[in-house]
A and B are shown apart, each in its own frame.
Chain A
Amino acid sequence: MDFVDYYKILGIDKTATEKDVKSAYRKLARKYHPDLNPNNKDANKNFQQINEANEVLSDPVKRKKYDKYGKDWQHAEEFEKQRQYQEQSSGSRGSGFSGGQSGDFSDFFESMFGGGGGSRGRQSRYRGEDFNAELHLELIDASKTQKQTLTVNGNNIRITIPAGIENGQTIKIAGHGGPGINGGPNGDLYITFSIANDPHIKRLGDHLYTSVDLDLYTAVLGGEITIDTLSGKVKLKVAPETQNGSKIKLKGKGFPVYKNEGHFGDLFVTYNIKIPKNLTDKQKELFTELSKS
């Protein structure tokens, strides 16, 4: 456990007055407050640090203890026992340091002050911290509604992921974030989905795009081919004289529309016509004949 220099965190020196502490805290809090830096983990971490520093330095009792035992915080417990003994001896009941909800305070803070102290001043009931998580899915998984169990802070949460979820989309699971402070409501859990690229099928919204190789003879004369889609194999009739790069649309064979059961986008298939290689003499002869016709 490392020593945490709260003065350095707030950018003030040891002689700073209570007003200086407040002013330094406000300035930094405005810069790093999570409400002003959504989804910014670094800012959140900085905010926790300055919050912790403020919690100690704005409280004369905690600050005194910190100033006295800061670097030798291991002696703090000894100090505490001695203080409690003195208080008991004099018949008073000291309130000690508030050992309320242990939130996002450092190990250093908790070992010294026994958990995060409640906020002073307005004493409002704070909503708990929002949690953010990322869930990775394959394209095929995102095309089907599925249930998954996630473990967040030791709790198992069963969630239903609706088919058609978009890459980068975030869903909110209300009440599954951090616990509220001073009786405030729990925060929410935000899950952002990361959907892997599929090597064969591309997705844009609800539509899917793929390409298939077509031999020259089928392209010229027409025929039937079988292609893979997310919902299985599909037989396709190829029209005679199909051009290279031409596209066809398979209506309703695309991606499911998010939260709109039974509705699907379309699948667009692009034909890549392959020219035959290693022709035999006979084949060359036939092509020559064709070219003259």
Chain B
Amino acid sequence: MQTENLIAIREFCIHNNIEISFISSLQQTGLIEITTIEETPFISAEQLRQVEQIIRLYYDLDINLEGIETITHLLHRMNSMQEEITALRNRLRLYELND
């Protein structure tokens, strides 16, 4: 079974000094997805950045999971709006007068 882009949750928790139950609660709230291979739970490398961000928000800023869910949702929205602004700006350039 290919585990190249997967990180064992146990190792991740030891590395970050956090409880495994915390990662499970992230899965339960739908913030992350866990892949289980041969009874070993993993998170994908693509999710690493997001999980680390959640850890910082939870442990360093004392924001609870409900707050993190809201923040994550708003950050996604902000990101897609930012992309839309960039696309609209590029479209606007089509109509800008030459200098």
A-side residues, CB < 8 A to B, are 26, 29-30, 33, 35-36, 38, 122-127, 166-169, 197, 199-200, 202-205, 209
Contact = CB atoms under 8 A, between A and B. Distances in A.
B52 interface: yes
A26 B62 contact: yes
Given A35-B56, A199-B99, A204-B91, A125 B86 contact: no
Interface of B: 15-18, 49, 52-53, 55-57, 59-63, 71, 75, 78-79, 86, 89-91, 93-94, 96, 98-99
B15 A29 contact: no
Contacts of A30: 61, 63
Given A26-B61, A26-B62, A202 B17 contact: no
A197 B60 contact: no
12 contacts: A29-B60, A35-B53, A35-B56, A122-B18, A124-B16, A124-B17, A124-B59, A126-B56, A167-B89, A167-B90, A169-B86, A203-B94
Q: Say whether chain A's binding surface is mostly helix, strand, loop, or mixed.
A: loop
Contact of A122 (B17, B49, B93, B99): B17
A35 B57 CA distance: 8
A200 B17 CA distance: 58
B17 to A, nearest CB: 6
A202 B99 CA distance: 13
Contacts of A199: 98-99
